[in-house]
Amino acid sequence: MWVFRRRSNDTARRSPALTSFLQFSSIETPGYVGFANLPNQVHRKSVKKGFEFTLMVVGESGLGKSTLVNSLFLTDLYPERIIPDAIEKQKQTVKLEASTVEIEERGVKLRLTVVDTPGFGDAIDNSNSFSAILEYIDEQYERFLRDESGLNRRNIVDNRIHCCFYFISPFGHGLKPLDVEFMKKLHSKVNIVPVIAKADCLTKKEILRLKCRIMQEIESHGIKIYPLPDCDSDEDEDYKEQVKQLKEAVPFAVCGANTLLEVKGKKVRGRLYPWGVVEVENPDHCDFIKLRTMLITHMQDLQEVTQEVHYENYRSDRLAKGIKGKENGIKQERENNVNAQTVANSALSEKDRILQEKEAELARMTEMLAQMQARMQAQH
């Protein structure tokens, strides 16, 4: 059973009532996958170190990001959120909010941070939205890089973004130009997991068509999304089947809800419509469970890809820039020295010239003096 512990960290906003993101689920969904179900080896490692995981949610506002995050972690992560009106939205820049919770199950700790990016895509000029999000990701890498080369290496807090849920609107015919542009900027920095928001607005057929379209566009634009790793041949059949289903489900078509409803005597998380209930955790209704399973079972892999691919990219870029910076510095210094020498030389030659002039003048005056003396002697 997971127990929620609040962090006493001032930098992150804390949720007032996070129960556990598994507590309910084990009651509601028998097939639920928790940390205890991770392969033993991974589990042992995690017991020792504990998990630090950061999830970022990106997408236009109103697509249900906060609702989905709250549904995933069975908490209200954003209780104080005020929805801005249209005038505010126009000039609103992207405000990034990080909320951290600590969850513990059977001695395994998970420090989970969710970074929400409210307002993305709201403004008329969205160029700033991109840069604020990209800068945030880089800042986390930069901080890690600095901490890693510092004295207190063992106690680094890892705030790097390990996974980014990219929300795609269900109302379009695929990716919008803004999605393409942004995903291309994001893909070399984070693990992108694309999700179709508010999947309850689409029929099964429409979802399939949209998924196909999005995957085609992702491929044709050369966007690299997080690749679910292939199974080893000696993996058990159930696991292989699960990974196959997860791979086929990308982009996950999800819906979120924070209300518990009663359906056939059972409490379910769902959305009540005049014609019926959309059950968030019913695999026939949407891919919510698949998305959550993917997140839990691949948490370690998402961390490893972040460390080995994205962070390494950042680090080598940064070092190359550092070396280049140093080389430029040395070059500049050399140039400065040469310039100083030239200036000194020219100053020297200027002095010489003045000296020569003075000498010439002196010689002229001595000559004049000698002529005057000769004339005076002749008069006497």
Q: Which residues bind ligand GDP (CB under 6 A)?
A: 61-67, 198, 200-201, 255-256
Give me the least distance between CB of 228 and ligand GDP, in Å please: 23
Give me the least distance between CB of 108 and ligand GDP, in Å please: 29
When the beta carbons of 254 and 305 are compared against ligand GDP, the nearer one is 254
Which residue matches tokens 């026939």?
Answer: 284
Tell me if 273 sits within 8 A of 217, measured CB to CB: no
Handedness of CA 206, 207, 208, 212 (dihedral sign): positive
Q: Is the peptide bond before 251 cis (omega within 30 degrees of 0)?
A: yes
Tell me if 112 sits within 8 A of 43, measured CB to CB: no
When the beta carbons of 243 and 257 are compared against ligand GDP, the nearer one is 257
Give me the least distance between CB of 201 and ligand GDP, in Å please: 5
When the beta carbons of 156 and 201 are compared against ligand GDP, the nearer one is 201
When the beta carbons of 162 and 198 are compared against ligand GDP, the nearer one is 198
Residue 223: burial class (beta carbons within 10 Å; 0-12, 13-18, 19+): buried
- Structure-token pair, residue 328: 């430029």
When the beta carbons of 198 and 310 are compared against ligand GDP, the nearer one is 198
- Structure-token pair, residue 166: 């990219």
Give me the least distance between CB of 97 and ligand GDP, in Å please: 11
Give me the least distance between CB of 171 and ligand GDP, in Å please: 11
Q: How many CB atoms sit inside 10 A of residue 67's CB?
A: 20
When the beta carbons of 50 and 283 are compared against ligand GDP, the nearer one is 283
Q: Are strands 260-263 and 266-273 parallel, antiparallel or unpaired?
A: antiparallel
Give me the least distance between CB of 100 and ligand GDP, in Å please: 18
**CA-CA distance, 178 to 181, in Å (whole number)?**
5
